[in-house]
Amino acid sequence: MNTHYLTNNQPGIGGRLKAAPEDFIVEEIPLYLPSGQGQHVYVQIEKAGLSTPAAIRKIAQALGISPRLIGYAGLKDAQAVTRQTLSIDKITPEAVQALDLPNITILDVNRHQNKLKPGHLSGNRFKIKVRDVAETALSQAEATLAELTRKGIPNFFDAQRFGNRGNTGRLGALIIRNDAAEFVAEFLGRPQTHETVAIQAARRLVDEEQWAEALAVWPPSFTDERRTLEAIVKTDGDLGVAFKVLDKRTKTFFISAFQAELFNQLLVDRLDSIDRLEDGDIAYIHHKGAAFLVESAAVEQPRADDFEISPSGPIFGTKTLLAHGQPGQREQAVLEQHDLVLDDFTVPGLKIRGARRPYRFQLKNPEVWWEDGLMLTFELPAGSYATRVMAEVMKN
């Protein structure tokens, strides 16, 4: 996880998260309520120890329908107790109410006219318990949350974006640079000590350019790696085929990780002033998802104080709107540091247009109390992660 904190002036409380699923409770805040009419059954569930896709598969199997008929507004963690709404097509409310599944409880059933889709979500409400802390943590957490409520939460991309090898951003950069040889070495070679014995052995064989031998020992579940190796073997060691056989989804994932690294780099530089506009900023309008050039920071700052707008950073791509003035100079400096121009994000078969991402997100309605451990509740907008809040509070 990123170790840069907005609240460095506040001590971290330490402690332990998710010692039990009930220590981390997430409840969706819906974008709209079901109307009571329509072909889709809206079911609110509570699940524990299951990811959203796993819960959908279990429900679909129990109802004898395809998982494709089940919609959701957001993906929820397996290591938590979560309450979320699903939409189910071509089923009766009675059939849903009759479900009796382990780790899934039916809380409410209703009807609506449309399928739930990702993004049909206002936000999430969290209730979190931190164990192994002293009761003095209460006042420390209150001070940290008060500062975060005023300034906002730094909108870093977290560690999971960069994979368990921590190199997805580098892989994305190598795709952008069309450096197939280095991509193959980084993607398929260079074993890390945390990997299984089999994977380390396969990667060592890649480092020795023993392609067929590496393919023979690479586990079947690593489909992208095996597909790439198969192509290299078939072409007698032509590394250029790596970019041809890698599917679009995987390429896009790697490139998005590189974009995330560049955004995080700029956010670190802006961390002390994520709540203050500068002339030349591209301001992000939270309720619209739109952005505009700030010609006068003094004129627009009251809107930032009300959290209507925030300074934003670039998700670099071919069509990214870049800032002007000093913010623009910082963005250009990052591009130059990596020897990039926006046109470098032109990748055959992909559309990497870019975007703007706010440097912060809003923390709402935080509360803290002591109950055999530190208890916290707060609300976050859709797409924002409680781990960023807890990183600031715990700092461990």
Other CB atoms within 10 A of residue 216 CB: 12
- Taking the C-alpha atoms of residue 174 and residue 149, their distance in angstroms, rounded to an integer, is 39
Active site residue 238: no
State the Cα–Cα distance between residues 26 and 330, nearest whole angstrom.
Answer: 37
List 77, 179, 224, 275, catalytic entry: 77
- What gap in Å lies between CA 322 and CA 89, rounded to an integer? 43
Helix, coil or strand: residue 124: strand
* Ordered alpha helix ranges (H), the chain: 52-63, 93-97, 137-151, 168-176, 180-188, 197-207, 211-217, 223-234, 241-245, 248-270, 297-305, 325-337, 386-394
**DSSP summary character for residue 206:** H
Nearest partner of 205 among 185, 228, 179, judged by Cα: 185
Q: φ and ψ at 24, to 5 degrees? A: -140, 100
Tokens 């078939």, located at residue: 234
Tokens in use for 193? Answer: 């000590």
Q: Buried (b) or exposed (e) across 157-171, using 16+ Cβ within 10 A?
A: beeebbeeeebbbbb
Token code pair at residue 315: 């998700």
Active site residues: 77
